Amino acid sequence: MEGALDNDSGKMGFGLMRFSKHPIACVIDSKYAGKTVDEAVDLPYNIPVVASVKEAIAMQSEIMVLGIAPSGGRFPMEWDEPVSQALTHGLSLINGLHDDLNSRFGHLLKQNFIWDVRKPKPSYPIATAKAAELKNKRILMIGTDMAAGKMTAGLELYAELQTNGIKTGFVPTGQIGITLMGNGIPLDAIKVDQAAGAVEEAVLEQANNDIIIIEGQGSLAHPGSTATLPLIRGSQPTHFILCHKAAHANLRYPVSHIAIPPIDEFIKLNEALASVCGSLQPAKTIGIALNTVGLTKEEAQNKIAEIEQQTGIPTTDMIRFGPKKLVKAVQEI
């Protein structure tokens, strides 16, 4: 996570810290070396931070995960040396970036491996709205922006519903979800004509579940994002949960000159796009998952109350205040 532990480009690492079932030996970020994650940044993980791959190897690490998800998903050229060092010393590598690192570093492999998470199948079927024929509930996580917490909120909801004994499936569509679940589709690496078909195929594979949570990507509000439409078309969602950064009025850099639309209007836009004037499966927004980072507890509670009054939809920060309010909203559909 070199250079990323204290900003949202490190969301791959943050996701693994929160949800991984496997122990994390350390985080590599030289800026905070010698501290733990909870000492370095406002995250509740007592994981040591080290400065180098050499130190990580000494801590009996077995796999190195590239813990960043930067804009464009490009591999940092300055990471050639640490990745080469890790592979040469027998560590395996999980790569969630777009670059094919097997072709770049495969000559260094012995018993270890490189998992290029964003490597799609050669082809996928063209979507035909088959998911609309399923009898279950399909909940798509949507967002007002990139990195708004769609995966985190979806996984929190998935885990809580399973704990409550509800047959629930989760469809990962991005590098973090795929890494955590061990399956899924790298949506942003799939040919645009096949993207909806890939989503449809993944949803149909989960047909035996009463509820399917589909991990969202991108946003209709973002000029650089094309992910929401194939997610809607492929999954034929029955319901939406909207994710939003409560402290933000504009999209994140580099399009921070663009204002985030009013939430109630944005909800109508997504719902209208899903139903296509009544031709396809209608989808209702049943919850709003806020990310209240940057707000005090009181400010967060005030913002939740404000958005609930504005929209009439149950709203909470699932990390700060727990998922029960949105779990109840799901159970009542």
Measured from the Cβ of residue 132, the count of other Cβ atoms closer than 10 Å reads 14
Q: Specify the pLDDT at position 73.
A: 84
Q: Specify the pLDDT at position 8.
A: 85
**9-22 as b/e, with b when 16 or more CB fall inside 10 Å?**
bbbbbbbbbbbeee
The whole-angstrom separation of Cα 169 and Cα 287 is: 18
The whole-angstrom separation of Cα 289 and Cα 152 is: 10
Report all structural domains of the chain as residue ranges with CATH numbers, in order of start.
8-116 (3.40.50.720), 130-331 (3.40.50.300)
Report whether 48 contacts 211 (CB < 8 A).
no
Q: Specify the pLDDT at position 147.
A: 87
pTM given for the model: 0.92
Amino acid (one-letter) located at 250: N
The whole-angstrom separation of Cα 91 and Cα 116 is: 15
Sign of the four-CA dihedral 218, 175, 140, 17: negative
Q: Specify the pLDDT at position 253.
A: 87
> Which of 78, 104, 238 shows the shortest CA–CA distance to 95?
104
- Listing DSSP states for 138-171 in one string gives EEEEEESSTTSSHHHHHHHHHHHHHHTT--EEEE
Regions of the chain where pLDDT drops below 70: none
Q: Specify the pLDDT at position 71.
A: 74
In the structure encoding, which two tokens stand for residue 54, read together?
């050499």
Measured from the Cβ of residue 122, the count of other Cβ atoms closer than 10 Å reads 4
* Cα distances (Å, whole numbers) of residue 303 to 245, 296, 309, 322: 11, 10, 10, 16
Report whether 263 contacts 228 (CB < 8 A).
no
3-state secondary structure 49-75: EECCHHHHHHCCCCEEECCCCCCCCCC
The whole-angstrom separation of Cα 217 and Cα 147 is: 8
DSSP label of 259: B
DSSP label of 282: -
Report whether 264 contacts 239 (CB < 8 A).
no
> Which of 245, 238, 281 shows the shortest CA–CA distance to 263?
245
Q: Specify the pLDDT at position 231.
A: 98
Q: What pLDDT digit, counting tens, does each position of 122-172 carry?
A: 999 999 999 999 999 999 999 999 989 999 999 999 999 999 999 999 999
The whole-angstrom separation of Cα 2 and Cα 79 is: 9
Q: Specify the pLDDT at position 246.
A: 96
Q: Specify the pLDDT at position 72.
A: 77
**204-242 as b/e, with b when 16 or more CB fall inside 10 Å?**
bebeebebbbbbbbbbbbbeebebbbbbbbbbbbbbbbb
With the CA atoms of 176, 204, 119 and 1 taken in that order, what torsion angle do they form, in degrees rounded to the nearest 10?
Answer: 0
